[in-house]
Structure 1
Amino acid sequence: MMAFPRVRVCSRHVSVSLNLCGYATLPGAARPQEKNSTGPVFQFVGERRKPTRKVFVWGFSFTGALGIPSFVVPDSGRKIPRKYQLTPYRLETAEQITSAACGYGFTLMASSTKDTSKLWGMGLNKDSQLGFQRTQQDRNRSYDYVLEPSSVALPLVKPVQTRVIQVACGRAHSLVLTDQEGVFSMGNNAYGQCGRRIVEDEVYSGSHVIHRMEGFSSRVIQVACGQDHSLLLTDTGKVFACGWGSDGQTGLGHYNVS
């Protein structure tokens, strides 16, 4: 199983616009640490050893999208929050991440492992683009901001055998491609970008909806998200599109929502 976080409640104000109501935390020894670069480091590995995958993050941190909570809620040793990380920073995880994608203020990561936990999200979650992230105080409420990689539970029929192949993120929606159970979508569907029927006045905050996209004549092998539209490529070379098409980005020959 994973060494990723539990959820803990916090009532601190971290900026004028962000009232943080909760975030995910790791045990102290496992939390990401800044590296000491005062001297050279020599490492030797066996010739046949498989390479270890590493994740590096940088950019705007205050939504939690970088997965480093101390940037937003500083530890006792750092008094000033770090709004921007200007250079690549190592995000230490216990998982071998094989796919990652960034949306507007959030990040989704996946591992092709056969463990039951294989998908993690961090950052802005006001449209449930990271799934339902249950709070500890109220099991019926979900966190709007997730500061550390938190597990996203997919409704898989075979949760052990099925692997996550790729993730993609739009402005406020996400796609997850698996090897055996097709494509799942979650988050904002105001323009049909999740590949399901548009529900008028649907509330996306705290949503449990993770939709399995259907209707493909062959297996989907790649997915991509624009701001509010989605594209899916099948193994026969067909491309399917859904979502906002006001600039012709769906390629369906019209400017409508589909």
Structure 2
Amino acid sequence: MKHLKVLGELFNSSTLCVHCSNKVFDRGGVARAKSSFFTSSFRLCRSFSTTPLRLKKKKDYYAEEKLPIFDYGKIHSEKKRLYVFGGAAHGALGLQTLLRPEKDHHKKMLYMQRPVRHTFGDLHTVTNMAAGHGFSLVSVKPKKDNDPVVFGCGYNKMSQLGYQPGTRDFSLGALIAFVPIPLPLNKTTKVIALGAGRGHSLISVEGMGLLTLGENSYGQCGRSIIDDEEYQGSKYVCRIPSFGPSQDYDVVQIASRFDVSVCLTRMGTVYTFGCNNQGQLGRGKDISRPWEPAQLEGT
């Protein structure tokens, strides 16, 4: 009985480790281990402690200054994206999936009401663009010397997109995707500006002047008018040498609507040519040679 009493007092004044059953005594409200190998702050042995030992690290007050500063707003600041919208009946948007759906349950779309991102802008660096009546022009920065510079899509009945051969040796009348336009350009050419009218295209090239393609029934291509000229399937590209003999005469901006062409040179002079039935050239009503580019004179 005496031994049981001593054992009871021993267990009343101490606790056991929950893992190894070692006695942990409590003296004066502070837990003390029976040996130096045991701890009693959590009433566990040191070898079975579930709380990892955490050492305080010295704070580096210069850590924030050492971190690199990354500006997220300038990731794609130099990358340009191309968005298209409007009529797509003749392929003017260059999205062939609108006219030829990939899936059977998708319907054919003749127009796009909202801007849609075009993948052509992701594959090429677009520098200039122009929208005509049912066709579009885009100039890009070439990656190699022999890469094409100008692309077009849409209506091509007047060969405003150049000669595009089909399967039976005839020019395609419509292109539903962007295709390169064959032009007599050098390897280091740079396209400055583009223009697109009802059925003709204008391309300003640095050092070469102004190139024109397509219909010329009113002289809007800057060359003499030929009666009953056949435009479909034509390979002719007109070059106006008066523009471009020097950098001052380079055409930097083109405005072309219907059958009228207006060009702005680097010096600030304005030249017009084309249809003048209602005096839209600004050169008077009666002119004998409307196809010749003439400088406008202010009053």
Range class of TM-score, shorter chain = 0.7 to 0.9
Q: What's the offset of the Cα at 1:224? A: 1.8
- CA displacement 1:84-138 (0-9 Å, x = unmatched): 2110011101111111111111111111436431111000000011111111x23
- Please state if 1:97 is matched with 2:133: no
Structure 2 vs 1, CA of residues 69 and 197 (structure 1 numbering), >3 Å: closer, same or farther?
Answer: same
- 2:136 alignment partner in structure 1: 107
Structure 2 vs 1, CA of residues 97 and 200 (structure 1 numbering), >3 Å: closer, same or farther?
Answer: same
Which of 140, 145, 150 aligns to 2:174? It is: 145
Structure 2 distance, partners of 1:246, 1:199, is 18
Secondary structure at the residue paired with 2:126?
coil
Structure 2 residue runs without a partner (length 5+) = 1-70, 292-299
Q: CA RMSD in A?
A: 1.9
Which residue identity is paired with 1:153? Answer: P
Q: Which of the pair is proportionally richer in helix?
A: 2
Same amino acid, percent of matched pairs: 33
Structure 1 residue runs without a partner (length 5+) = 1-43
Equivalenced residues, count: 211
Structure 1 distance, partners of 2:236, 2:107, is 37
CA contact (8 A) 1:64 1:72 kept: yes
- 2:222 alignment partner in structure 1: 195
Which residue identity is paired with 2:174? Answer: Y
Q: What's the offset of the Cα at 1:251? A: 1.1
- Please state if 1:62 is matched with 2:89: yes
Structure 2 vs 1, CA of residues 82 and 238 (structure 1 numbering), >3 Å: closer, same or farther?
Answer: same
- 2:115 alignment partner in structure 1: 88
Structure 2 vs 1, CA of residues 232 and 73 (structure 1 numbering), >3 Å: closer, same or farther?
Answer: same
Which of 113, 118, 125 aligns to 2:156? It is: 125
Structure number with the bigger relative contact order (C-alpha 8 A, sep ≥ 6) is 1
Secondary structure at the residue paired with 1:70?
helix
- 2:253 alignment partner in structure 1: 222
Structure 1 distance, partners of 2:193, 2:206, is 9
Rg larger for: 2
TM-score where L is the length of structure 2:
0.66
Which of 266, 270, 276 aligns to 1:245? It is: 276
CA contact (8 A) 1:113 1:163 kept: no
CA contact (8 A) 2:204 2:250 kept: no
- CA displacement 1:179-234 (0-9 Å, x = unmatched): 22111000100000000111110011111011111234733332221210111222
